[in-house]
Structure 1
C-alpha cells in the first residue's frame, strides 16, 4: 500500500541527509511530464533495432506529500543508461549538492520493480564500484534551481559511465558555459541532454559506457527562438558547439538510425504577440 511505501521511505531517510528520489515509468509516452519538452513534444527518436527504451517521469515527494515531477528521461533497459533527459532551465542558483545516489526502487504511484532483481533493467550503485568511471549526470546539479530538483538528479536513470577526466574538466566547463548562455534568455529554456553508447561496458559486462555526451538548448532571445547543439568529446577531447541540425545529423550517424529530431514541434502560434512574431530557428 501507499502507507507502507511512505513508511519505507521514512525509514531510509533516518540514515540519510537526503530525501528519496523516485521515478515513474509512464507506459509509451511522457503523459505526466510533457511540460519539460518544447511545446510539450518529446524528441522524435526511434531506437536502433533490438534496443528497448522506457519513458520515465522523474519525481520526488514534496513537503506536502505530493508527487512533484521535475524532469523527463528516456531510459534504455538494454544499454542500462539513459538515452536523454529533458528539463527546463530557469535562473541558476547555488544549490548544495547531495551525493547519495538512488535507483528506482518503485515508481511514484506503484510498487512495481521493488525486490532483489532491481538490477535487471537498470544500473545500481555496485555496478560503478571500482569501474574507473564517473556517474555522469545528464540533468546536472549545476542546472537546477531548487533543492528538490537537485535531489532528483541523483538517480542512476539520469547517469551514465563517463570518463572521469572529461566529466570533471571539459564537460564541467561546458555546463558552466551553458548557464551563462541560457541566463540571457528572455524566459525559461528547454534543454535535452543525451548519451551515445559505446560498444563496451564497464567491468560488470552489463552497463554500457558512454562514448559521447550531447546537449541541445532552445529558448527565446530578443523575441526569437534560438538553439544550440553540443557534443563531446570530439577528436581533441573537447566539447564542440554546432547547430541543432548538424547535431541531429551527427546523432543519426552515432546511433545508426534514420533520423532524430530533438525539437520536433514549433512553438504554438496562439500566444502573446512577442511569440507570434518570432522566427523559429532551433533547428
Structure 2
C-alpha cells in the first residue's frame, strides 16, 4: 500500500512540476491549440476550462483561482462579419464551484457566495476604474455564438480603459489584418503577467495584471510585405502606465505602450516573470 501511495504521489508531483494541472483537462477542446499541444512548462494552481456555450466549445482558458483572472485563453482567430454583441450579460463558470457540474457558462443575476469564492463576478468590476479586458476578444470570433461566448468573466482581466480601447485594441485589429494572408488556421494564445510583488486588487478580490501578452501561430501563409510576422509573432502591452521599462519601453505620453517581438523573446519574458524552468507556447515553434 505504501509503495502504491508513493508512486501515485510521485506521478502527481511530476504532473504538477512539468504541466501544472492541465495534462488532460483540455482534451475536449484541444483543437484550439496548435498541433493539439498545450503550452509546455507551465506549472501552478490553475484550472483548465473548455469554454462551453450553446452546446459547443468556443475556446480554452487556463484560470487562476487565486487571482480570479485567467492566465491565458487560447483560440483560433477567425473574424466574422457582424458587430460586437450588444446588451450581453457577463457569465460565470459553474464548474469552478463544483467539478461535478457538466453545464457550460451561464448568466447568474445574483451569484451566491460559492460562486464568489471560486471566481470573479460582475460586481467586482463596477466602479473599479478598470474595464473588463477580453483575452479572447469577440472581434476575433466567427459566429454570433462565438462572439457571445467571450463574455464570460473567466475570459476577463482588469484592464485600464485607455489601454483596452487604445494600443491593445489596435494590436487586435492588426492581428485580424494579418490573418487575411494566413492560408491555414491561425492559433492565438493571449494572457497576462502579474506584478512581481505587491499585486493590486479591485474589490480586494480580483488581481490586476501588470502586462498583457499575446502570441499567434500560422504555419502556412501567403508571402507578402508582412511575411516577417510569420509563422509566429508576439507582443506585450503595458496595462500599468507606470510599470518599469524592463519589458516594454515607454514611447508614448500615456504609457500604455505595446511592443511586438519574436515568439522566442516572449517565451523568455514569460519564463522569467512566471518563474518557470522552461516555456513553449507552440509545438516546434509553429513549424510544420
Tell me if both proteins adopt one fold, taking TM over 0.5 as the criterion.
yes
* Separation of aligned partners in 1, 2:273 and 2:120: 23
Deviations 1:129-150 (A, max 9, x none): 1111111000001101110011
Q: How many residues end up aligned between the 2 structures?
A: 237
Q: Deviations over 1:156-186 (max 9, x none)?
A: 1000011111111010111111100112101
CA shift digits 1:25-56 (9 cap, x unpaired): 98852010000000110111423xxx510000
Look up the match of 1:248.
267
Specify the alignment match of 1:179 in structure 2.
176
Partner of 1:216: 215
Q: 1:222 to 1:248 in 2, by over 3 A?
A: same
CA distance in 2 between counterparts of 1:100 and 1:228 reads 33
| Pairwise CA distance, 1:115 | 4.5
- What do the CA deviations read for 1:174-207 (whole angstroms, capped 9, x no partner)? 1111100112101220011011123423332221
Partner of 2:241: none
- Bigger share in strand: 1
User: Would the alpha carbon gap of residues 115 and 130 (structure 1) be closer, same or farther in structure 2, given more than 3 Å must change?
Assistant: closer
Greater CA deviation, 33-42 or 99-108? 99-108
2:53 alignment partner in structure 1: 60
Distance in structure 2 (CA, Å) of the matches to 1:238 and 1:31: 36
What's the counterpart of residue 128 of structure 2?
A: 131
Unaligned stretches of 5+ residues in structure 1: 1-24, 62-66, 268-279
> How far apart are 1:94 and its partner, in Å?
2.8
Contact 2:94 2:103 in 1 (8 A): no
* 1:26/1:231 CA distance change after superposition, 3 Å: closer
Would you say the 8 A contact 1:39–1:266 is kept in 2? Answer: no
TM-score of the aligned structures, taking structure 2 as reference length = 0.75
Structure 2 unmatched runs, 5+: 1-20, 239-247, 251-255
8 Å contact from structure 1 (residues 38, 265) kept in 2: no
Instruction: Name 1:271's counterpart in structure 2.
Output: none
d(CA) in 2 for partners of 1:27, 1:80: 21
Larger mean Cα displacement after TM superposition, 117-126 or 215-224: 215-224
TM-score of the aligned structures, taking structure 1 as reference length = 0.76
More helix by share: 2
